[in-house]
Chains A and B, each alone.
Chain A
Amino acid sequence: MNLKLIRNLAMPFALVAICTFFAIKEPSFIGPRNLTQLIVEFSITGTLALGMFLVLLTGQIDLSVGSGVGLIGGLAAVLIFQYNVPAYLALGIGLVLAIIIWSLMGLLIVKHKIPSFIITLGGLLIFKGFFWQIIQNSTIPVSRGDVENIYSKLTTYYLPHQLGLILASVIAGLFAYLMHHARVARREHHLAVSGSLKPVLQWFVITTGIVGLTVIFNHFRGVPLTVLVLACSASVIYFLTQHTAFGRSIYAIGGNAEAAVLSGINVTRVTTLAYTLMGAAVALTGFMTTAYSGASTTTVGDLMELDAIAACVIGGTALRGGRGTVGGVIFGALIMTTLLNGMTLIAVAPEIKFIARGAVLTLAVWMDVRLSKK
């Protein structure tokens, strides 16, 4: 219990410390332009981490997503640039293909009981190979000439200022309604309800965050579209994990797979579905991150699987499965992105960045192990 409290407090504290450090080193870190960039990067890492979250919850892992991100993003770019396929169709094909590949991979893992570590490690190499083959080790832009398309707009479209503010207010209102609703329901069923100060404070922090950020974004170009992609993904994953039988089954399988089988849960179907959704997250991330770099090149997606895993684990997702929350994952992704963005901004050498990334991942897993023991 005590350890958990330390952990819950340690994470926000770490985020504030990281931000303060970078802001002092380089004041433009908290400028509207950099914050906008940071939030786009955060949306990309966050979306992938949400997919990884489902896989980790079942007690499995997926090391192939970084290569997958490159492959799917590259495929869509090639379809558009070389075969003149309409952008929406190219994205659709990429999405469907990712879903099929990850479903098959999931099926292979659960049906034949092959460790996911090995299968997805194989996937990492195979996807990377196909990826480089498809783009022929070159750089493929996401649009032909300078014609904007839905693919290139993914990371360059910003919401009109008023619309951003309206959306922010609506979301703040929605949060207030949902939080109040949950409290009423708890009280009706005689469950312990915390004092009203804590939820009001919670709501205040969330609202200030959302509205405040919107105002800051509006000082640059507005709220980036990718934020909406992340928000939608997070809502969907939250709904799935907390309000569906699928979500229950996922937690049960990760918590105790044998008991899940004897409880009548179809472990094969549920775990495969988790991989299917991972595939969808890979496709979305692939599109966003390729669009963000403007073109598909051999390095797109490199090491993203590790960032996604780190984000989940930092956010309290257990590597052995069965424990974790969507909020935690989002928070973990924010810490991870802030760190990477800040280091790029103050021009940390790439070799040091590798070391820092690895250290954060190791630290997060060490904390996970410590917490799981108890």
Chain B
Amino acid sequence: MALLEARNLTKRFAGVTALRSVGFKLEQGEIHALCGENGAGKSTLIKLLSGIYPYGSYEGELRVNEAKVEFESVRDAEAVGIAVITQEFSLIDELSVAENIFLGRLPKIGIRVDWAKLHEDVVILLQSFDLNIKPETLVCELGVGQKQLIEIIRAIDKHTGILVLDEPTAALADNEIKILLNHLKRLKEAGTSCIYISHKLDEVFEVADRITILRDGESITTVETVKTSIPGVIRAMVGRQIGDLYPKRSSQRLGEVLMSVDNLCAANTKNDELILKNITFQVRAGEVLGIGGLMGAGRTSLLMHLFGVWGVRCSGRLLINKKCLDDNNTPSDLIKHGLVLVSEDRRRYGLVLDQAIGFNLSLSSLSQFVSFGKLDLIKEYETNQVMFDALRIKAVDQTHRVGELSGGNQQKVVIGKALMTEPQVILFDEPTRGIDVGAKLEVYELINRLTDQGKAVVLVSSELPELMGMSDRIMMMHAGTLSGEFSRSSFTQEKLLAAAMGQS
């Protein structure tokens, strides 16, 4: 008898099917791993199981102990004993570890908090995790790994029947991972069931009893861990053909090196944690360099750092057009040198949503329209119009507000803005995220046109088929380092994914 069962779950977002008739069974007292590439549907499935997407927003049914359940909210899911630990922290920085763990259910005498009992309980809990933290320590003084563990302790201590862990070890050090995995095994023996999601397959193989593999929103197979192997799981995760979604790249000679990154190390500004380690690569004129990797591998940090908006450089150099740029360049300096970034989050980093299409298009290249301090509005309009037409932005005219456009058209405006700076090197971060297939194809064609014109393109993408379809060369990143480089003739999904997981 399954403790938790999903039958024929289908979840659609505007135009995209995230889950297609997914079936999934969790037995009493097992650790069940969910594996799949980015975008395979793992997160969507969890959000259905935990009530974040309420009943009615999907098709199919959920059963707990054979009884059909309809979760209206996270609270309903918690009521039947499902607790989810996500990658985002929900701890309160200014409160102590003890207060955080028992938040909302502090032991009390009358209306007064029973501090003595609270600390006693917390000390026992922390000891069971081999954590050497004082209960009264403020959460903001903890490292990321410790915070993650506190988050887990809090969820586990709610005595839930079903524990869902989404990438719990992403921020943990090796010894912390070991403690966590051991604790999970103990919980299992005590009867708790656990859904475990991780990109780290060696962990999965260490704790999981069974593995369900998702691919493109479908549940491919469920296997017992002892009957399979890491390469077998990877094969099942990627097993798909690349269609002709990707326009043919004209095979042309590569030109000179336009951008060169030498032994780059960079740390997070906030906590000085080293995120990018010894990154070295070059991009040539006419080349598309793909950069792949799993969530948190440091791809976005790398692009944002190169563009001068993230992190502190510890060492290394950046050369554009053979010109060495020092480490405190702002985006405006870099744009002048011919580098531009198309960010992954267009609404946050790309667009002024309240303003017109034209306003956004020319925003990075206003200086070319200035004469004697005055903007030549007519010249600006005409130049914008050329870009507006070339990108086939679907709107009445360029005075239309950007916020009202579809995702694909917004993306075109962001790309148009970057291209109007007449760059030599263009960094694309997930340029096709959240846009429909037709718009995707247009973006791909645009990238090919750019390289035909002798520009260099760096393409970061979470989708392996996209990387393989578009790149001349692919670098994979893993935990802030380059974990493998592949030329077009040697691309296989298995090799790329293995490199992304640090298995090569």
Contacts and interface: CB of A to CB of B under 8 A. Distances in A.
A252 B332 CA distance: 14
A262 B346 CA distance: 11
A190 B396 CA distance: 11
Given A185-B378, A266-B332, A323-B354, 4 more contacts: A255-B355, A256-B352, A260-B352, A264-B364
Contact of B307 (A239, A255, A258, A262): A262
A256 B351 contact: yes
Interface in A299-326: 322-323
22 contacts: A191-B397, A239-B374, A243-B377, A244-B373, A245-B370, A248-B359, A248-B366, A251-B355, A252-B363, A256-B353, A258-B349, A259-B350, A259-B351, A262-B307, A262-B309, A263-B364, A263-B417, A264-B331, A264-B332, A264-B421, A322-B355, A323-B354
Interface string B159-178: 00000000000000000000
B504 to A, nearest CB: 34
Interface of A: 185, 189-192, 239, 243-245, 247-249, 251-252, 255-256, 258-266, 322-323
A264 to B, nearest CB: 4
Contact of B352 (A189, A192, A252, A264): A252
Q: Secondary structure of the A side of the interface? A: helix
A251 B397 CA distance: 21
Contact of B374 (A189, A244, A322): A244
Please list the 3 inter-chain residue pairs (A to B) with the smallest Cβ-Cβ separation, ordered nearest first: A255-B352, A264-B332, A245-B366
Nearest to A182: B377
Contacts of B409: none
A73 to B, nearest CB: 31
Interface string B285-303: 0000000000000000000
Contact of A245 (B330, B375, B381, B417): B375
B332 A265 contact: yes
Nearest to B398: A191
Contacts of B397: 190-192
Contact of A262 (B341, B374, B381): B341
B349 A259 contact: yes
A14 B334 CA distance: 50
A265 B363 contact: yes
B354 A262 contact: no
A251 B359 contact: yes
A263 B343 CA distance: 10
Given A189-B385, A262-B341, A262-B350, A252 B355 contact: yes
Contact of B330 (A243, A244, A259, A266): A266
B459 interface: no
Nearest to B342: A262
A255 B375 contact: no
A262 B331 contact: yes
Contacts of A243: 374-375, 377
Contacts of B359: 248, 251-252
Nearest to A255: B352
Given A189-B381, A191-B399, A245-B375, A262 B343 contact: yes
Contacts of A248: 359, 362-363, 366, 375
Contacts of B87: none
Contacts of B381: 189
B367 interface: yes
Contacts of A190: 397
Contacts of A261: 309, 330-331
Nearest to B346: A259
Contacts of B399: 191
Interface in B379-426: 381-382, 385, 397, 399, 417, 421
B456 interface: no
Contacts of B362: 248
Nearest to B367: A245
Given A248-B363, A251-B359, A259-B349, A264 B335 contact: yes
Interface in B295-338: 307, 309, 330-332, 334-335
B227 interface: no
Contacts of B270: none
Given A243-B374, A244-B375, A266-B332, A251 B309 contact: no
A105 B378 CA distance: 36
Contact of B363 (A258, A263, A322): A263
B348 A258 contact: yes
A252 B362 CA distance: 11
A249 B417 CA distance: 14
Contacts of A263: 331, 363-364, 417
Nearest to B345: A258
A264 B351 CA distance: 13
A366 B184 CA distance: 52
Nearest to A190: B397
A88 B112 CA distance: 69
Nearest to B331: A264
Nearest to A239: B374
B364 A259 contact: no
A256 B385 CA distance: 23
A246 to B, nearest CB: 9
Contacts of B366: 245, 248-249
B356 to A, nearest CB: 11
